[in-house]
Amino acid sequence: MARPEFEDINPSTEEVIETYEGHETGEVIDAVEKADDAFDGWSDRSIEERESLLADVAEVLRDNTDEYAETMTREMGKPVSEARSEVEKCAWVCDYYAERAGEHLQDDRIGTEPGARTYVSYEPLGVVLAIMPWNFPFWQVFRFAVPYLTAGNVGILKHASNVPGCALAIEEVFDRAGYPDGVFTTVLAETDAVEPMLEHDAVRAVTLTGSNRAGSAVGETAGREIKKTVLELGGSDPFVVLDDADVDEAARVGARSRNLNSGQSCIAAKRFVVHQDVYEGFLERFVEEVEALNVGDPTDEDVDVGSQARGDLRDELHGQVRDSVEAGAEAVVGGEPLDREGYYYPPTVLTDVPDGCPASEEELFGPVAAVFRVSDEDEAIDRANDSPYGLGASIWTDDVERGERVAGRIKAGSTFVNELVKSDPRLPFGGVKKSGYGRELGRDGIREFTNRKTVWVQEAGE
């Protein structure tokens, strides 16, 4: 079998940047075994040592922010200003766990009987396989790697095939920070190498962020092998605007939430559910905000929306828009690929979206907003919940008690009142329904891939 090659294409110019030589399946298995060999020495280190190295990772990221940001922009079209913010967020998650990992992993003392000392300890599992997407090519990796490695696990990264430069750069970050060989390893491998890795005895857990199809395949293999999984599988997040909302602020934040990362975000606002009393005013302001976005070369500091990451992804998005319009939706802004070099799709707003069309039923992974009119609060909640996904939700109201009540009725992994949905190192992140299961970040995230071991120590003679 020929050695795999990965062609690195700049999506804003369609030019080939570089061709990377990938790893064959045998080399991938060698990497797994090398990681397994590194596990004992790494897990035996004190938590203080691992926290100290993590602080060094943050320093490497900050010292090389521009370099890493430019790599992201070149490979997947992210506006360079957002790419720099992504590197800074990766440094932030390092800071957080460098300070709090020991606290989150300390034993939980639980009283049981006289003469017995009983507690739960949190011990690392071993080799964790991570299958990561291209849309936040640094953040998605650091979101898993920082807590899991600091807990004492070792990691193997199988990154998306269109961001090989980012994948190798991340491995270099840990090398520069002084991590031992084998603790974090990148493999440039085809999808068919995933199953042999999952079936290897050394791999004890897998985390995947990606499509439902990929999640189902990985979950099936991991289930057969009885291995722990965390799956984050996308979303179609509702953005609920109630009748007492600040329409101007909701429109401003909503336009930003929908179009961050050129619209290619799992937690972007995708379905705008608007009370009929403020529908016209919100739509007018929302369209103004969307039309004001600057679309262009992502290396330009003033650009808000760059290209889509790949040509096939842009074409798939346009197919969903076209099918929705043919079903009765109206594109009041955008709706056609831009006639220019690169994989550009304009910020688009769809109204009068009928049930059953892609904009209503599917995740639109690009800068396309679907706006729905509802008659009251109950209908807004029903519409928000009418999705196979349940990642995040945003609710807008001047009455925060009302907002909190509505947030409690929406089926999602996270709900935000008068704020866009976002991940934060201090808080657990993950979804329900077809958005996946398990949690990353916060205390819950660092404990996901640990053995929660019960220890009972009885005094002699008791």
Rg, Å, the chain Cα set: 23
Q: What is the mean pLDDT of residues 193-215?
A: 97
Q: How far apart are CA 450 and CA 182, in angstroms?
A: 19
Contact predicate 243/225, CB 8 Å: no
Q: How far apart are CA 83 and CA 67, in angstroms?
A: 10
The domain spanning residue 251 has which CATH number? 3.40.309.10
The tens digit of pLDDT for each residue in 159-192 reads 999 999 999 999 999 999 999 999 999 999 999 9
Is residue 41 one of the residues assigned to a domain? yes
Structure tokens at 161: 């095939």
Is residue 422 one of the residues assigned to a domain? no
Based on the fold, state whether residues 388 and 449 are members of the same structural domain: no
Based on the fold, state whether residues 95 and 179 are members of the same structural domain: yes
Task: Assign 461 a pLDDT band (cuts: 50, 70, 90).
Answer: confident
User: What's residue 331's pLDDT?
Assistant: 98
DSSP 449: T
Average pLDDT, the chain: 97
Based on the fold, state whether residues 318 and 389 are members of the same structural domain: yes
Is residue 351 one of the residues assigned to a domain? yes
Task: With a cut of 70, say whether residue 213 has pLDDT above it.
Answer: yes
Q: What is the mean pLDDT of residues 362-371?
A: 98
Task: With a cut of 80, say whether residue 1 has pLDDT above it.
Answer: no
Q: How far apart are CA 125 and CA 40, in angstroms?
A: 11
Nearest to 393 by CA among 231, 210, 240, 234: 240
User: What's residue 398's pLDDT?
Assistant: 98
Q: What is the pTM of this model?
A: 0.97
Nearest to 233 by CA among 435, 438, 411: 435
DSSP 353: P
Is residue 102 one of the residues assigned to a domain? yes
Domain that holds residue 250: 237-417
Based on the fold, state whether residues 229 and 290 are members of the same structural domain: no
Based on the fold, state whether residues 366 and 268 are members of the same structural domain: yes
- The owner of tokens 């397994």 is 36
User: What's residue 318's pLDDT?
Assistant: 98
Nearest to 275 by CA among 411, 190, 371: 371
* DSSP reduced 3-state for 305: strand
Q: How far apart are CA 332 and CA 325, in angstroms?
A: 11
Is residue 36 one of the residues assigned to a domain? yes
The tens digit of pLDDT for each residue in 17-64 reads 999 999 999 999 999 999 999 999 999 999 999 999 999 999 999 999
Nearest to 138 by CA among 60, 49, 219: 60
The amino acid that residue 175 corresponds to is: D
Is residue 425 one of the residues assigned to a domain? no
The tens digit of pLDDT for each residue in 300-345 reads 999 999 999 999 999 999 999 999 999 999 999 999 999 999 999 9
Based on the fold, state whether residues 38 and 132 are members of the same structural domain: yes
Q: How far apart are CA 189 and CA 159, in angstroms?
A: 8
Is residue 328 one of the residues assigned to a domain? yes
Structure tokens at 154: 């070792």
Number of structural domains, the chain? 2
Based on the fold, state whether residues 315 and 383 are members of the same structural domain: yes
Residues with catalytic roles:
232, 266
Phi and psi torsions of 343, nearest 5° = -95, 65
User: What's residue 2's pLDDT?
Assistant: 74
The domain spanning residue 154 has which CATH number? 3.40.605.10
Beta bridge partners of residue 156, listed in sequence order: 129, 185
Based on the fold, state whether residues 323 and 387 are members of the same structural domain: yes
Task: With a cut of 70, say whether residue 462 has pLDDT above it.
Answer: no
Based on the fold, state whether residues 48 and 95 are members of the same structural domain: yes
Contacts of 57 (CB under 8 A, 6+ apart): 91, 94, 146, 173, 174, 177, 179
The full DSSP string for 267-303 is TSEEEEEEETTTHHHHHHHHHHHHHT--BS-TTSTT-
User: What's residue 86's pLDDT?
Assistant: 98
Is residue 429 one of the residues assigned to a domain? no
Beta bridge partners of residue 129, listed in sequence order: 156, 206
User: What's residue 199's pLDDT?
Assistant: 97
Contact predicate 207/130, CB 8 Å: yes
Based on the fold, state whether residues 247 and 198 are members of the same structural domain: no
Contact predicate 303/77, CB 8 Å: no
Nearest to 105 by CA among 457, 452, 441: 452
Based on the fold, state whether residues 18 and 99 are members of the same structural domain: yes
Q: What is the mean pLDDT of residues 252-270?
A: 98
The tens digit of pLDDT for each residue in 273-309 reads 999 999 999 999 999 999 999 999 999 999 999 999 9
Contact predicate 135/76, CB 8 Å: yes
Based on the fold, state whether residues 195 and 310 are members of the same structural domain: no
* DSSP reduced 3-state for 92: helix
